[in-house]
Chains A and B, each alone.
Chain A
Amino acid sequence: AQKVTQAQTEISVVEKEDVTLDCVYETRDTTYYLFWYKQPPSGELVFLIRRNSFDEQNEISGRYSWNFQKSTSSFNFTITASQVVDSAVYFCALSDWAGTALIFGKGTTLSVSS
C-alpha cells in the first residue's frame, strides 16, 4: 500500500529563516510520481512540483528547492529566506504510474512571522 508521512505537524519560523519540510513515502511501485502542493489560508490547493521516480535531480525554483532521495524514500522541500506569504499548509503527495489517485500526507502547517 502507498503511504505518505509528513512528521512535522506545525513549524514556526521568523522571516528570512530557511525551513525544510520533510516528506517520507512508501510504495512498492518502481514507477511513481511525487508532488508538493501549497494550501494558503484562502483554502485553494496550489501545485508546486511534480517529480517522477526516475529523476533524482534536485530542483530549484527561486526560493524553493526540493531534494528527492530514493535511498531514504524522502522528498523534502526547503524554503530559503522564508517570507510571511509562505505561511500555508504544505502537502506532499504520491501517485502510482497510472495517476489513479493522489495519496496525501496530513500536511505541515508553516507559520512565518515578521
Chain B
Amino acid sequence: DADVTQTPRNRITKTGKRIMLECSQTKGHDRMYWYRQDPGLGLQLIYYSFDVKDINKGEISDGYSVSRQAQAKFSLSLESAIPNQTALYFCATSQGADTQYFGPGTRLTVL
C-alpha cells in the first residue's frame, strides 16, 4: 500500500461549491504539506503543518483552509471553488526537516 494517499484522485466541481481534498499517511511523519501545481509551473506551497496543533500558511493560502485531524491526516478545503483553482494538488509528508515525500496527487477541475 502507498505510504501517502490522497482522495479523491480526480474531481470535477462547479464554481461556488465547497470541496475537500484528503490526505493520509502511514509513514509516521510529523509534518504534512499541501502544494498546488499549475501547468508549466513548479509546485507552490498552500499550507503546512508541523504537528497536529501547528498549522501555517504557505505562499498561496488565499481561498483555501486546512485541518489536521490527526498526525496521519491533513485535509485541504476550498470554501467556494473558482475556476482558477483548477490544478493538480499534492500532499507531502516529512519527518522533521528531512525529505518530503509526495502523494499521487488530486486533479481538480472547477467549471
Interface residues of A (CB under 8 A from B): 4, 33, 35, 37, 43-45, 47, 50, 91, 93, 95, 97-102, 104-107
Contact = CB atoms under 8 A, between A and B. Distances in A.
Interface residues of B, number: 27
B90 A47 contact: no
A33 B94 CA distance: 14
Contact of A43 (B45, B98, B100, B105): B105
B101 interface: yes
> B42, B98, B99, B107 — which one has the most chain A CB atoms within 10 A of its CB?
B42
| Chain A contact residues: helix, strand, loop or mixed | loop
B99 A97 contact: no
Contact of A47 (B42, B45, B58, B99): B99
A101 B48 CA distance: 8
B42 A44 contact: no
Contact of A99 (B42, B59, B96): B96
Contact of A97 (B33, B45, B97): B97
- 8 closest A-B pairs by CB: A99-B97, A104-B42, A45-B102, A101-B45, A104-B43, A106-B42, A50-B99, A44-B104
B104 A99 contact: no
